[in-house]
Amino acid sequence: MKMKKALTVGMGVVIMAGLIAGCGTETDQGSTSKSSATAAAKKDKVKLTYWTYQRHDADYIKSKIEAFNQANKDAIEVEMTMMAENYPQSVDLAFASDQAPDVFVPNGALDNYTKGYFEPLNTYLTDDLKKKFTFNEGVNQFDGNIISLPNVGSTVRLVYNVDMFEKAGLKPPKTFDEMVAAAKKITEIGKKDGIYGWALPYKNPSSALTRSLQQMVELNGIHSSGFDFKTGKYDFSGWKPEVEALRQMKADGSTLPGAEALDMDPMRAQFAEGKIGMYMSYSVEPGVYKDQFPPKIKWDAVQIPTVDGGDPKGAINFNGGTWLSISSKSKHKAEAWKFVQYMYGDDILRGYHENGFGLATNKHVLEGAKVPTIPGIKNFLPTKYDAAWPLPPRGVKPQGKTWAEDFNAYILVGGDLDQIIKGLNQRYNDAYDKGVKDGSIKSVPADPNFDPRSLQGK
């Protein structure tokens, strides 16, 4: 019990969406009977736990859970727990200690599937739901097991402080060199007021670089996993210009001091206060600034720069395909499915899209939906440069540091980038080859004719 309290309270914000039982007195027989009946009814309720790490939509989801708790006829009560930090580790700990949630938002579907966290949804789906939703192997389906229904996708853009750019006489950068120069100039102008040109939440390498470096390389024609579809091998050498640009902003003193100790929300708070010139992130940002951190500045978003400012050589993966999943360890799977099915109702998904919490990927949701109009959303809407890439090899785990850890360390403190890349290539290819040989990884054949430009618009 002590550990469960730490998971739901100590590691994040907990939102209780339950009904409040009436209070009775024991001054007469009638009151005593009423109190006993209330206690019995409360005891008979099925209580479901729902875990999420997505803070930007918390108020909206809370209101829908409250409506479900009040309206459902099956005596189901859902408790929502939102964790600000350490979500993957908390999920692992909960499953290991038999305290897993009934329903959760996966953060790393493949990893969660490999660990056996999902209840397959195949047998729960009606014919109508099968027609409405799309299931893609390696995204929301693994080995034919459906682990989640899709809801929204995410685009990634360069978010910038319009006021500071105008003060500095700058336009949004189109090349990496322009981005580095803009960060430097904004810092020169604003440093006396604690304003710096660039920031990312470098405390968590994965959080920082999956919302920036990965998209930078994809737009320039290189897959975000490091896998080269032309050669069928891992090759991080093409990441060098992108990594060097991020390193240069740190070396120039243009990066917000203390960024290496920042999580995402504290960094957003700094941006909303006008202390950051620009950063990169997902299309949830407009919703975040609308509901969590009302900005004191004018801000906007634009396409991520390319190496030379020319047309992108690739596309940014339009991430989507998962939202809610049922735990394999839930003792109330039938009730959990009733809640999940409710949350995937057309009106709820449509409202999610219209409020800017995410960009709907389901055609039946988009039909009749209004275009989100919240400030900042316009330039996050998908273009032909937001498109799905083919799937790289699944389950490649190198010995030692990951690409995110190695590149994050270089960005912050420097080093020999060529040697870092050489080491990454060796470790990732060794892990890939070993997995293919022992049968744990399915190989992806080389395609010498693969052209990342062909992905655009699809």
The whole-chain average pLDDT of the chain stands at: 90
Residue 219's pLDDT is 97
Taking domain 157-317+386-455, whether its CATH number is 1.20.1250.20 is answered by no
Print burial letters for 108-122: b (CB count within 10 Å at least 16), e (below 16).
ebeebbeeebbbbbe
Q: In this predicted model, what pLDDT tens digit does every residue of 35-68 receive, in sequence order? A: 444 444 455 899 999 999 988 899 999 999 999 9
Spans of the chain below 70 pLDDT: 1-43, 84
The CATH code of domain 2-147+322-360 reads 3.40.190.10
Task: Return left, alpha or beta for 30; rule: phi > 0 is left, psi -120 to 50 is alpha, else beta.
Answer: alpha
Q: In this predicted model, what pLDDT tens digit does every residue of 303-332 receive, in sequence order? A: 999 999 999 999 999 877 899 999 999 999
Residue 72's pLDDT is 95
With contact defined as beta carbons under 8 Å apart, do 356 and 287 qualify?
yes
Q: What is the pTM of this model?
A: 0.81
Residue 43's pLDDT is 54
Residue 85's pLDDT is 72
Residue 14's pLDDT is 41
Residue 139's pLDDT is 87
Residue 12's pLDDT is 39
Residue 40's pLDDT is 43
Domain boundary assignment for the chain = 2-147+322-360, 157-317+386-455
Alpha helix (H) ranges present in 277-416?
A: 285-291, 333-343, 346-354, 363-366, 403-413
Residue 23's pLDDT is 35
- In this chain, the answer to whether the domains covering 2-147+322-360 and 157-317+386-455 adopt an identical fold is yes
Residue 2's pLDDT is 38
Residues 6 or more apart whose Cβ sits within 8 Å of residue 456: 312, 314, 315, 384, 385, 387
Alpha helix (H) ranges present in 232-291?
A: 240-251, 264-272, 285-291
Residues 6 or more apart whose Cβ sits within 8 Å of residue 358: 57, 151, 152, 153, 154, 283, 284, 352
CA dist 337 → 105, 147, 175, 380 (Å): 14, 12, 48, 32
SS3 396: coil
Q: How far is CA 100 from the centre of its chain?
A: 21
Backbone angles phi, psi at 138, to 5 degrees: 90, -5
- Sign of the dihedral through C-alpha 122, 119, 356, 136: negative
With contact defined as beta carbons under 8 Å apart, do 387 and 310 qualify?
no
